[in-house]
Amino acid sequence: MNREFGYLRVATAVPPVTVGHVSENVTALLALAAESAAANADVVVFPELCLTGYTCADLFHQEVLLSAAEAGLARFAAETALLEPLFFIGAPVRAGTRLLNCAVAVQRGDILGLVPKTYLPGYGEFYERRWFESGQTVKKLTVHVAGREVPVGTDLLFVNEAAVIGVELCEDLWAPVPPSTALALAGAEVLVNLSASNDLVGKSHYRRGLVKQQSATTMSAYAYCSAGGGESTTDVVYGGHRLVAENGHVLVDERGFSFAPELSVADVDIHFLRHERLHNRTFSAAGSAAPLVPRDIRYHVSRGPLNDIKRCPPPLPFVPSHEEDRHRVCDEIFAIQSLGLATRLRHTGLKHVVIGLSGGLDSTLALLVCVAAFERLGLPRAGIHGVTMPGFGTTDRTLGNVTKMCDQLGIPLKRIDIQDVCQQHFKHLGHPGDQHDITFENVQARVRTQMLMDTANMVGGLVVGTGDLSEMALGWCTYNGDHMSMYAVNIGVPKTLVAFLVEHVAGTRDEAGLRETLHDVLATPISPELLPPDEHGVIAQKTEEVIGPYELHDFFLYHLIRRACPPRKVVRLAQLAFGDTYEEAVIKHWLSTFIRRFFRQQFKRSCVPDGPKVGTIALSPRGDWRMPSDADPAAWLADLD
């Protein structure tokens, strides 16, 4: 994947440090520098004070060690002159009568800048204030180090064509307001932390939480690299914790407890971070009030292709891959859906709902939500009025599952055969009735909606909509047919997640026989059942054969809308996510279908009923998504081609 798609490769590198032996440490650093450059890294983060060893203690005041450190910096710079990455190595640096604990930025043989640590711990096992001074005492200075004048300060940002990088060290992240917050508000998109955090029981979990939260708060990529086993001495042990997080999502979490060199690599999506900051007005408002006026240290890199991306997007981005997380998410979504419906019923004072039941996934989930909402309100299930309306495409399988579900849940079910009514419509329209065109299909959908609305008037209730987020994104609904309801409980749930929700609820209900019925619903092909079945009475009209696989469309929805990826990038990501399941031509075909339908069907989304937002994507015009109904998809299709 070319770097034009906005990925930046970040490496965290833990060398085998020998405390006090600078020349040996430089050799170890150079080996990892070469390895990270071979891995095509753009930024490489080493641990705090790795040039000398973090645990040198009073040796930091020895001329021998400090002179060796300066010579070591000069050697590292000279021997990495042909390497492209921007390296951050930890070293003690003298600034007049002050000694600073610094992150030293080195690229192509040049020492670009020095960032001193701001917060020096002086508690527990840490005594840094005994040897170092805070970076707060350094204001827009330069220092003479390794034969050159180098800018030093906590206000430095390292800027190239691809990203803006800010730096802090270890304890800085533990502060109530980390320096990285101001750096991010000043423009830093990637934050790096050179650390020497010893290991205690539970401490790694806490570090992970800090890195994850700071990356989310600052809408940044955060790369953290801590000292390894060679630093372990006296009463402390270091495990070499390496973390990379992107906007609250952890990409790397590794800890070797090793004396060997360790390298972790992650590709962070700079384009996505820029989208998030552009989209989030709170971030820009906070940035306008930021007190930091940074000094930009500009450098250039010759960025080659990045074809072996180090992250594989999940094929089902809306469905957590771990079972425990999936059940937790399903619990939350189901609670949001049922509470939303219960709130609407409380507000209106209604004690009845009407729901059209087809035997498909969406109406099944909506029925289960209605049951949960009535349980929340302590209302009898007799107030849930199931209506099944067999038409020209209804099969015995789906009709049988509706009947069984309602029996098992204790829901009254009304059957209204709509074929005669539809035939009357065809007669008035002058339609032949046996011509299976769009009119043939949509007459059925609108008749069903009319029946539901009229039934709701009769019982004094509201019509619960069953359509889901994926259908609304594609406009796969009949305008003023199944498009319309009085409260749409599934409108925030993508199709790929609907099945998992039904399966999850199947495992939590104890009604006799319900689980088996729900599993058969899950095994039923997705279909609107508007066209006649085949000669064996089996569903012939299959939605995914007409509009494409929902797993692809949900993938497109997530990456086009949530992450604002250009179509070419979506194609490449889909190839990575689905492997050999779909050829590139197939992905492009269905992505083109998605883009065309998403744009051309916006008018349906401009007047959708209320429904609960359950995730990071919602297409309600009253909430997350405002789009002109007549926008042209030409630019997106051109990018795809």
Residue-wise pLDDT tens digits, 217-240: 999 999 999 999 888 777 788 889
Residue 495 has φ and ψ, to the nearest 5°, of -60, -40
pLDDT at 470 over 70: yes
Q: Which residues, listed in sequence order, are joined to residue 45 by a DSSP beta bridge?
A: 12, 88
Sheet arrangement for strand 384-388: 413-415, 384-388, 353-356, 462-465, 487-488
CB neighbour list of residue 385: distance below 8 Å, 6 or more residues apart: 352, 353, 354, 355, 412, 414, 455, 459, 461
Burial class (CB in 10 A: 0-12, 13-18, 19+), 536: exposed
- Distance in angstroms (rounded) separating the CA atoms of residues 212 and 219: 10
- pLDDT greater than 80 at residue 561: yes
1 — pLDDT class (breaks 50, 70, 90):
very low
Closest CA relative to residue 357, chosen from 303, 416, 271, 430: 416
pLDDT tens digits, 522-550: 999 998 888 888 888 888 888 999 999 99
- H/E segment holding residue 12: strand 7-14
Give first-to-last CA distance, the chain, whole Å.
17
Confidence of residue 290 (pLDDT cuts 50, 70, 90): low
Per-residue pLDDT reduced to its tens digit, 237-274: 888 999 999 999 999 999 888 889 999 999 999 999 99
Q: In the 3-class helix/strand/coil scheme, how is 578-592 assigned residue by residue?
A: HCCCCCHHHHHHHHH
Q: What is the pLDDT of residues 488-513, one digit of tens each?
A: 999 999 999 999 999 999 989 889 99
Sequence-distant (≥ 6) Cβ neighbours of residue 444 within 8 angstroms = 391, 392, 393, 418, 422, 530
pLDDT tens for each residue of 37-57: 999 999 999 999 999 999 999
Q: What's the mean per-residue pLDDT of the chain?
A: 94
DSSP letters, 92-119, are EEEETTEEEEEEEEEETTEEEEEEE-S-
Secondary structure of residue 548 in the 3-state scheme: coil
The answer to whether residues 40 and 306 touch, using CB atoms and an 8 Å cutoff, is yes
Altogether, the residues listed in the chain come to a count of: 641
**Residue 340, both tokens:** 């939303």
- Looking at residue 106, its pLDDT comes to 98
29 close to 64: Cβ distance less than 8 angstroms: no
Give 462 or 258, the one with higher predicted confidence.
462
Q: Is the dihedral of CA 363, 364, 369, 375 positive or negative?
A: positive
Is the pLDDT reported for residue 289 higher than 80? no
The residue ranking higher by pLDDT, 30 or 197, is 30
Q: Determine what percent of the chain is predicted with pLDDT higher than 90.
A: 82
Rounded to whole angstroms, the Cα distance separating 452 from 447 reads 9
Annotated catalytic residues are: 48, 117, 170
Write down the residue that tokens 């929700």 correspond to. 501
Task: Tokens 């019925």: give the residue.
Answer: 517
Residue 307 in this model has a pLDDT that exceeds 80: no
State pLDDT tens for residues 323-373.
Answer: 999 999 999 999 999 999 999 999 999 999 999 999 999 999 999 999 999
Statement: the pTM of the whole predicted model exceeds 0.85: yes
What is the C-alpha to C-alpha distance for residues 264 and 267, in angstroms, rounded to an integer?
11
At residue 197 the predicted structure's pLDDT band, cuts being 50, 70 and 90, is confident
Q: Check residue 342 and give its pLDDT.
A: 98
Q: What is the pLDDT of residue 230?
A: 86
Antiparallel, parallel or unpaired: β 141-145 and 148-152? antiparallel
In this structure, what is the dihedral angle of CA atoms 474, 477, 479, 485, given to the nearest 10 degrees? Answer: -120
Rounded CA gap, 318 and 311, in Å? Answer: 17
Q: What is the reported pLDDT for 601?
A: 96
- How far is the C-alpha of 442 from the C-alpha of 604, rounded, in Å? 15
Average confidence (pLDDT) over 607-616: 94
In the chain, what percentage of residues exceed pLDDT 70?
99
- Report yes or no: 495 and 525 within 8 Å, Cβ to Cβ: no
> How confident is the model at residue 631, as a pLDDT?
96
